[in-house]
A = this chain, B = another copy of it.
Amino acid sequence: MQLLSSVVIDKLSRQAVYLQIANQLMSLIRKGTLPSGYRLMSTRQLASMLNVHRRTVVLAYDELLAQGWLESHVGNGTFVAKNFPEIKLSRSDEHTKKQIKPSKKAGFEVPILSHLNRSVLKSGTGLHLDDGFPDARLAPLEELSRAYRSQLLTGNSYARLGYGDTHGSLWLRQELSVYLNETRGLNTTIANILIVRGTIMGLYLVSAGLLKPGDNVVVSELGWAGANNNFLQAGANLLTIPSDDYGIDLDALEKLCLKQPIRLLYVTSHHHYPTTVALRADRRVRLLQLAEQFGFIIFEDDYDYDFHYLSKPLLPLAGADQAGMVLYCGSFTKAISPVFRVGYLVGPENAIAHLAKLRRIIDRQGDTILENALADLLQNGVIQRHLRKSLRVYRQRRDLFCELLNMELENYVEFQVPDGGMAVWTKFDQKIDLPLLAQKALKKDLYFSDGSAHQQYSRIKNTTRLGFASSDPHELEKSVTILKNLI
């Protein structure tokens, strides 16, 4: 009886009482306090001692019987198991007398991925001139909710809610194929489309599936760290080329190609990230020619194709790619909202089949219900209508925001009105301490990036992206007023 005197119940604990008892008994067995072959008191006795219901102690004993810590001999009682291996005490057991906590630190070696240290986006502020995100308030959420419900509840649940195709929902691929062909001048079939969880997964699959350590990957000096991280993680060697008002510099690219084999080029052709400029038509033709000539993959990240405000719909490179050099990636992240992790990787059939194999071991399949709900909205034109509306609204916001910048911050900022996208590439006067300004703004409930992410690979200083799409006119005015007051 004495041996069990240390058992205590914490009624305030999150842990069920029977588990508390079981765990403490287990601990006593492991420590040798309750030796092998020891006969435990009856459940009635222990219940009375602990002032709990007998059923609770029965549960605890059952637990330990089941786990093999105890043995029950019919008509004879319950004993600490005999053929139990002797257990060495570890020091922490002796000290703590408590439940085992998972250690904070692993007992095995954990590598450092220092190239993957990225600052995390803030989205807790009331105001935000962000990296160029959409306004979820415009999104067809009611329609999406109904479509999701319908996909969840209607039809044969075994087929619909079971394992599906790693390539993504067939229905969504069919709708996307039509949609991409119509809106982007592509000519896809479903075999050219792999549904991914946003552009980032497209990049990951291509990096992990098509790059070998040491492969040369060309990115813009001034580009997107998110893409670079993926190439670096795959062991690629990053080479950079400059970009100007018409996109990436293809003379520089050709020089690189003449010096060494290039495996992949990453380009945001429609709106260069972060500067927002479009890759000019002649460069597009030449880029495809270079890819064919030197045999490199073009990863075309078309992250905000849908939002272009001039009478200039620049069709993706992918639509003019005859030699199968382009992997084209887009998503609903910017078109609807970041939370909907559905995108599409478009490319030659064998490349898509290969990348789908890899995707199968990463997360098996996408969100079939959401994918089907989006297919429903595409088929019924809901997304198309949403995009037309958003385009109109964002154009107005762009115009207002640029006007506000001109009026209120005239002497402090330089920028070009962007032809497309959801952010203005804004250069602040050199006298302004941008990181400090960003910190002060945060205290006024306004988030914007201090641009440090863009200054890694280039001579860019004091320049950042200010997103206008996610704020309504009133919010844009308040945001600019805050900036004005702080400067």
Contacts and interface: CB of A to CB of B under 8 A. Distances in A.
Given A67-B313, A88-B289, A368 B348 contact: no
A74 interface: no
A300 interface: no
Contact of A105 (B98, B339, B349, B358): B349
22 contacts: A62-B312, A65-B312, A67-B284, A67-B313, A68-B310, A71-B311, A81-B282, A90-B292, A99-B181, A102-B318, A102-B326, A103-B321, A105-B324, A106-B350, A116-B360, A118-B360, A121-B162, A148-B152, A161-B337, A197-B364, A203-B361, A339-B367
A322 B89 CA distance: 11
Contact of A361 (B70, B116, B315, B324): B116
A461 interface: no
A432 interface: no
A349 B187 CA distance: 48
Interface size classification for chain A: 35 or more
A75 interface: no
Given A90-B320, A136-B161, A297-B108, A311 B66 contact: yes
Interface in A404-431: none
B142 A157 contact: no
Interface of A: 14-16, 19, 22-23, 30, 62-63, 65-71, 81, 83-88, 90, 92-93, 98-108, 110-113, 116-118, 120-121, 123-124, 128, 133, 135-137, 139, 141-142, 144-145, 148-149, 152-153, 157-165, 178, 181-182, 185-188, 191-192, 197-198, 200-201, 203-204, 208-210, 226, 229-230, 233, 263, 280-282, 284-286, 289, 291-292, 295-297, 310-315, 318-326, 337-341, 346-351, 354, 357-358, 360-370, 379, 381, 391, 470
